[in-house]
Amino acid sequence: MKIVVTGAAGMIGSNIVHGLNAVGITDIIAVDDLSDGPKYRNLLGAQLSDYFDKSDFYARFARGDFGKVDAVLHQGACSDTMEHNGKFMLDTNYRCSKDLLDACQAQGTRLLYASSAATYGGSASFIEQPEFEQPLNVYGYSKLLFDNVVRRMISRSQSGQSAQVAGFRYFNVYGPREQHKARMASVAFHHFNQFAETGKVKLFGDYGGYSAGAQSRDFVLVDDVVAVNLWFLQHPDQSGIFNLGTGTAQPFNDVAVATVNAVRTSKGDSALPLQELVKQGLIEYIPFPQALVGKYQCFTQADLSALRATGCDHRFATVAQGVQRYVAWMSAQAKT
């Protein structure tokens, strides 16, 4: 099986590459932009058949230069939700994806791609239906625009007449190989590094009707994201747009508690409840930033009905389980 992974040196892309290797797939063409050179570390140890810069790949793929490609796992995008350049965002996230979709359909190549829960924006419901899609930024809009193209294509296609297309609306993904993302890295990543540097973790105080640290997100471990992508790769008859989260919202307090206690127990200290961690100054609340007022999702929770309807019964890690594994990974990396 020949696979292309775009955004292959990024967090999700690199974990997908390693996940493909783990199930015996090594004919992988990796595509990315390594202007940020240190990202290469995410691919250390991975087996690849080739690598192309994104500036070269897309036109060559459309020409058919790579022969028969079974599937493209398209993770390449600008994922900075604070990027306000709409032209750049739409060129990168929409036009590039649309051209890739057209090329895949022309060549009979399956396309599994990264969408985002940012398509829901200000909605209080997270179901893959237009009435719940209210993006709060141009990033979310760029993802929604492409999702709508996919929807129209699937609705026009009769069964068996088009190659598989599956889009995954990733919720708050955390886990190994995200160190290059800087401020866009997960809260678990920032909590671990804050605690290592200052001996405390900082959380937002009360906002949006939520008490301090109680704003809640659907935090999903990147290993679970990889597992679902691989499930769809093994089930080419399943097309559509699917939420990819755990189906359970957990407060930021849970992430902070899991991070601090994972570090503490690794050093032989006992785990402590939230109230005690706050009392000892190990978790601290700060005023909610004015710059985020009106632009912040206080609650997200994936509705997994559509995903489960495909037969995908993958069970997701809780925050406590996932963060413990992630902290162990980051601690090991810090020693190398």
Q: What is the pLDDT of residue 160?
A: 53
Q: What is the pLDDT of residue 89?
A: 86
Q: What is the pLDDT of residue 158?
A: 59
* pTM of the predicted structure, to 2 decimals: 0.95
Q: What is the pLDDT of residue 159?
A: 53
Query: 28-32 and 3-6 as β-strands: parallel, antiparallel, unpaired?
Result: parallel
Kindly list the catalytic residues.
139, 181
Q: What is the pLDDT of residue 182?
A: 87
Torsion on CA atoms 220, 222, 228, 229, rounded to nearest 10: 140
Residue 196 vs residues 5, 7, 137, 192, 259: alpha-carbon distances, Å: 34, 29, 33, 6, 11
Q: What are phi and psi of 230, to 5 degrees?
A: -70, -35
Q: pLDDT tens per residue, the chain (336 residues)?
A: 999 999 999 999 999 999 999 999 999 999 999 998 999 999 999 999 999 999 999 999 999 999 999 999 999 987 777 777 888 888 989 999 999 999 999 999 999 999 999 999 989 999 999 999 999 889 999 999 999 999 999 988 755 568 999 999 999 999 999 999 988 899 999 999 999 999 999 999 999 999 999 999 999 999 999 999 999 999 999 999 999 999 999 999 999 999 999 999 999 999 999 999 999 999 999 999 998 888 788 999 999 999 999 999 999 999 999 999 999 999 999 877
